[in-house]
A and B are shown apart, each in its own frame.
Chain A
Amino acid sequence: MKESGAMSSLVTDGSSKALDSTFQQTHGGQLRPYKAAAFHVPSCASPPRLVDAGDVSKVSDVLKQYLFRVGDDGTCLYDPNFLDVCNPPLAPGTTYRFKYVLVESTEGIVKDQTLWSDPIKTRRVKLPLQVDTWPGRRSGAMIVITSILSVLLFLLLAGMLAAVSSAVMRPEGPSAETRCTPQTAQPSDPRPQLGSE
């Protein structure tokens, strides 16, 4: 049953007869409570204890006895002729409350009912499309690497230009003895010099 001030939260009519409203009749529980499922009364001779649900050796007995999944049946809504009790999935982002009702099966008289449970809100799931994969700011390492390497490459190209231009425009004559200029191992005949004589 959805939270709303102006709707009925009764599960019985005036003479304590259970109202067997289905999901379709109540528009998914918006008008009044709907019946999700019916069970026979189980044997209460030595039931499993709910607190044992945390103990993995006993949990399967607890689940077999007590577990009921609301919204288990995904197909009963699509059959237009289906008028019986339907337990389709709940809507996302909606608050629901639940209760158990003890009904005598011959005449449908409500013998007892629990209180309405605390409100439980279903999740609203997000689509994978909504995940934002923008990487954010550039990391410092990337900026350092890019900038320093660009500067180094520029300096190398500038140095190359300087070396080539100094080689092209060098004045002729023997090298000065104080400069660090290596001599190539050449045969004695002189090669043509650059520049005019």
Chain B
Amino acid sequence: MAKSEDCIHILQGLLVFGNVVIGMCGIALTAECIYFVSDPHGLYPLLEATENDGIYAAAWIGIFVGFALFALSILGIIGIIKSDRTLLLVYIILMLITFAFEMASCITAATHRDFLTPNLFLKQMLERYQKAEPANNNDKWMTEGVTKTWDKLMLQNHCCGVLGPSDWQEYTSAFRSTHNDADFPWPRKCCAMDAQGLPVNLDGCKLGVPGYYNSNGCYDAISGPVNTHAWGVAWFGFAILCWTFCVLLGTMFYWSGIEY
């Protein structure tokens, strides 16, 4: 009798502990995904224009899944302490659904991260930056978003183009069709700026004198936050799911042993 009682209490204790951890991780996941969705680096317009904003969809799913995990963990703790079959069955089924959604979020984040190569941003920058005549409102919205984001990126990170200023010279672009390449070998934002936001020396910038223009590419400034976002959602979700898997297996074993 004592051995069975101890066994029950140990299993209950483990499952309650497991559910507490799931609840806390759920809140953490919600908070992390809200942070990513708020787009602190302002890169969402670039992803929206490439139609590759899957990592944002994954973060949105993560917000709701995190909250669901927290609510279900409370349900699970109550069900385990009361050893109620119905509550635990509801808990298991809802947890399986939540598991499936979180799995979708992790896979989406990991898969869509693979699409965000330098060439993708290069093509979009060349086609949309300062595009003169947008075709419709959607085009205009995306063009404005891309132009503003690139201007901000080049100004704040002291960079030019995706791989370097030579991007503007090796390819034709929407920018090139309205700006001749003697006055604008690269956009003005690539010049080293003073405190008022004007180029320090315009001739030096146009000629490519070192120190008067930004000679490195912006890809690192883009891929850093995007990677943090994608791996943060994918791997943290994966860790939560591994833990949830163990807790759920234990709960199913516990449930199958409950007498009527």
Q: Could you tell me which A residues sit within 8 Å of B by CB distance?
A: 53-54, 56, 59-60, 63, 69, 72, 123, 125-128, 131-133, 135-136, 138-139, 141-142, 145-146, 148-150, 152-153, 155-157, 159-160, 162-164, 166-167, 175, 177-186, 191, 193-194
Contact = CB atoms under 8 A, between A and B. Distances in A.
A145 B234 contact: yes
Interface string B92-122: 1000100110010011001101111101101
Nearest to B95: A156
A159 B249 contact: yes
Interface residues of B, number: 61
A153 B103 contact: yes
B3 A178 contact: yes
Complex A-B, nearest 10 residue pairs according to Cβ-Cβ distance, in ascending order:
A128-B126, A180-B7, A142-B110, A163-B256, A56-B204, A131-B123, A181-B257, A163-B252, A56-B201, A182-B83
Contacts of B110: 139, 141-142, 145-146
B242 A166 contact: no
A166 to B, nearest CB: 5
Interface of B: 1, 3-4, 7-8, 11-12, 82-85, 92, 96, 99-100, 103, 106-107, 110-111, 113-117, 119-120, 122-123, 126-127, 169-173, 182, 201, 203-204, 207, 209, 212, 231, 234-235, 238, 241-242, 245, 248-249, 252-260
Given A141-B231, A180-B257, A153 B99 contact: yes
Contact of B115 (A126, A135, A175, A177): A135
Nearest to B205: A56
Contacts of A156: 96, 99, 245, 248-249
B203 to A, nearest CB: 5
A177 B114 contact: no
Nearest to B231: A141
B179 to A, nearest CB: 13
6 contacts: A54-B209, A56-B204, A59-B204, A125-B170, A185-B82, A191-B260
Contacts, number: 154
B207 A180 contact: no
Contacts of A60: 203
Contact of A180 (B11, B212, B235): B11
A139 B113 contact: yes
A63 B260 contact: no
A182 B257 contact: yes
B230 to A, nearest CB: 9
A69 B182 CA distance: 8
A105 to B, nearest CB: 28
Contact of A59 (B11, B113, B203, B252): B203
B207 A53 contact: yes
B212 A182 contact: no
Contacts of A146: 107, 110-111
Contacts of B173: 128
Contacts of A141: 110, 231, 234-235
A175 B113 CA distance: 52
B200 to A, nearest CB: 8
B103 A149 contact: yes
Given A135-B115, A184-B84, A191-B260, A128 B171 contact: yes
Contacts of B256: 162-164, 166-167
